[in-house]
Chains A and B, each alone.
Chain A
Amino acid sequence: MTETVESSQTPVLAEDEKNPVARLLGMLWRDKFALCAALFILLMVLCAVFGPLLLGDAASHQNLRGRNAPPFSWSNGWLFILGADALGRPLLARIVVAAQNTMMVASGAVACSMIIGTALGMIAGYASRRVGEAIMRLADVIMSFPSLLLAVIVLYVFAPSVGNLIVVLAITRIPVYLRTSRAEVLEVRERMFVQAAQVMGASTGRIVFCHILPVIMPTIVTIATLDFAFVMLAESSLSFLGIGIQSPEITWGLMVSQGRSYLVHAWWLSFWPGLAIILTTLSLNLLSNWLRIALDPVQRWRLEIGGKSND
């Protein structure tokens, strides 16, 4: 959440007397949908960070007597509330542990593509025309590739590790940030405060990082939230096709894929990890919708008066 805090400190509103963090949290409290979404994401992040430490052993401990144990039965203990997989490992523990790989790939890919894409976009928007054109053509080339197909080929050639997965997914998502930030910079650089800074002799670096970046940051953060969901789905698809993370490592997509062979007798093997994916992406979408309004000084009042806001 550090970016959101920074961006609400931008000198847009004069009545910023309250602490910006408290103010943002207040807005979040009034929108219950966004609050639930934020809490769910927080829970998933906690799972990703602490899950493998706490439940790592339970998730890999095989218990052949409990093979494909059905869900909603307390007889095996609370870890088995969602059932067990084909080797008798508790699904709840496995979902919690798998959150780490899923989140790591998604956040790594989003962070890389956001930083590189935004930097290139700002260069394309602020530097000379020829440089900008060259960068945009590069983005066009990346965009015209069928990204899933390219990912498949690349991951088939190089070993599908977390690092490679992050690189492949990041490359396919760079154009999104590049185009957005360039378009925003082209508009912002014509505004009065940028011209004022130029007249006062500010260096290019200072103008770009201190004057332009804070203005375009809310848009970028909103897109990144949405993109996080997209990357998660892409990673799951790759794992599902068998070219993402390889077992014994686990991700949610891989769990869905592993459960596919037991579909007829044990639907829960595929169902729960899929539900984890859908709830996370749904939360991210809701949060992104909320962020778009919360970080926009013009529309922010909608959330502060607490009216109908989740559209």
Chain B
Amino acid sequence: MSRLFRQRAVTSLFSLLGLIVLVFFLSRLTGDPTSLFLPIDATDAMRENFRELHGLNDPLLLQFWHYIVDLTHLDFGESIRKARPAIDVVIEAFGWTFQLAIMTMALVAFCAIVLGSIAAFRVGGKFDRLVSLVSLIGASAPDFWIAIVAIVIFSINIGWLPTSGTGSIAHWILPIAVLFIRPFGLILQVVRGSMISALGSAYVKTAKAKGVKNTPIIFVHTLRNAMLPVITVMGDQAAALLNGAVVVETIFGFPGVGKLMIDSILQRDFNVILAAIMVTALAIFIMNLLIDVAYLFLDPRIRY
């Protein structure tokens, strides 16, 4: 286990470093934040002062060196836009995204596993075909379109739910519902496929011959063995959510990390972009480790 951890940490650190270099230089190619943050009639002295303050006057390589040196002290720099430490801004936004991702994935996992298992139990039946069609449509739908249609129906026409923002439980319903659809479709297909092959195995026949009822066969005997591929796909989907559901967060005005990244890119708030990338990368790294631990529990034959 510790060997796996070390190996993972080294490769992740390597690709994270590559990403930081790439984003550091690419984002500075977008232009100078001075013109965005100072009023149009600012004097040259004010501009010079602003650049000096944020270290934008140094050569690029020197700026990069300073950034890396500060990083080793866990100093992620200041956010120009918010005039606060960049890491604070990011952690605050990440908290929102994290809650959203956890709730969505829990709901997806529950619904997809239950419905997928039942569909797999009677392959080709009416329920199976209905569920397959629904999941296929779900997996094909563009989330921004669903979000817009949902806003038109539930917020504008019926007026039950708020269109955007945060504050009450009602604000969570639409974002979660929209984010739910695509992972649900994908994971349901995986659960169904995996359960079909697991239900054909010998131990299921034995259990049936012993007279075990259907419900325990599905949820006790088979499910645990069918979970490995499901967990892998769930990890991919959760990683996508942790990276910030950029589009959905933008539409619903949700103050998550995806919206923060887009805003920071458009406003050239370089330190926040980099800090956000590192925080999400760390979260995804931890999640992948947890998934590996989950494999160990599900399948005792796996050794690291």
| Interface positions of A (Cβ within 8 A of B) | 137, 140-141, 144-146, 148-150, 152-154, 156-157, 229, 233, 236-237, 240-241, 253, 256-257, 260, 263-264, 267, 270-271, 274, 277-278, 281-282, 284-286, 308, 310-311
Contact = CB atoms under 8 A, between A and B. Distances in A.
A152 B259 CA distance: 12
B23 A311 contact: no
Contact of B145 (A154, A229, A274, A282): A274
A150 to B, nearest CB: 8
Contact of A274 (B14, B148, B243): B148
A140 B30 contact: no
Which 8 pairs show the lowest CB-CB distances between chains A and B?
A274-B145, A281-B140, A282-B140, A146-B243, A144-B15, A157-B29, A141-B15, A240-B144
Contacts of B23: 150, 153
A292 B266 CA distance: 42
B152 interface: yes
B262 A241 contact: yes
Interface stretch (B40-48, B60-68, B131-139): B131-139
A163 B124 CA distance: 44
Nearest to B14: A141
Contacts of A233: 142
5 contacts: A149-B261, A153-B26, A240-B144, A281-B141, A311-B128
Residue picked from B11, B30, B156, B262, most chain A C-beta under 10 Å: B262
Contacts of B149: 270-271, 274
Nearest to B29: A157
A136 to B, nearest CB: 11
B247 A278 contact: no
Contacts of A141: 14-15, 18
A256 B145 contact: yes
A137 B10 CA distance: 12
Interface string B242-255: 01101100100000
A253 B144 CA distance: 9
Contact of A256 (B12, B15, B144, B281): B144
Nearest to A277: B142
Contacts of A140: 11, 15
B197 to A, nearest CB: 13
Nearest to B196: A311
B243 A149 contact: yes
A229 B186 CA distance: 14
Nearest to A242: B266
Nearest to A33: B133
Contacts of A237: 142-144, 246-247
A278 B123 contact: no
Contacts of A152: 246, 261-262, 265
B250 A241 contact: yes
A153 B129 CA distance: 42
B17 to A, nearest CB: 10
Residue picked from A153, A237, A286, most chain B C-beta under 10 Å: A153
A121 to B, nearest CB: 19
Contacts of B277: 146, 149
B175 to A, nearest CB: 16
In terms of DSSP, what is the predominant structure of the interface of chain A?
Answer: helix
B18 A278 contact: no
A157 B30 contact: yes
Given A156-B266, A277-B145, A144 B19 contact: yes
B227 interface: no
Interface string B180-205: 00000000000000000000000000
A233 to B, nearest CB: 5
Given A140-B11, A140-B15, A157 B26 contact: yes
B142 A278 contact: yes
B104 interface: no
Contacts of B80: none
A270 B150 CA distance: 12
B237 interface: no
Nearest to B281: A144
Given A144-B19, A278-B141, 11 more contacts: A140-B11, A148-B246, A152-B265, A156-B30, A157-B26, A263-B151, A264-B156, A274-B145, A282-B137, A285-B136, A311-B129
A256 B144 CA distance: 9
A148 to B, nearest CB: 6
B280 interface: yes
B142 A253 contact: yes
Contact of B12 (A144, A153, A311): A144
B27 interface: yes
Interface in B16-52: 16, 18-19, 22-23, 26-27, 29-30
A145 B19 contact: yes
A153 B265 contact: yes
Contacts of B16: 144
Nearest to A281: B140
Contacts of B124: 308, 311
Contacts of B265: 149, 152-153, 156
Contact of B144 (A137, A153, A236): A236
A236 B142 CA distance: 8
B265 to A, nearest CB: 6
A285 B138 CA distance: 11
Contacts of B15: 140-141, 144-145
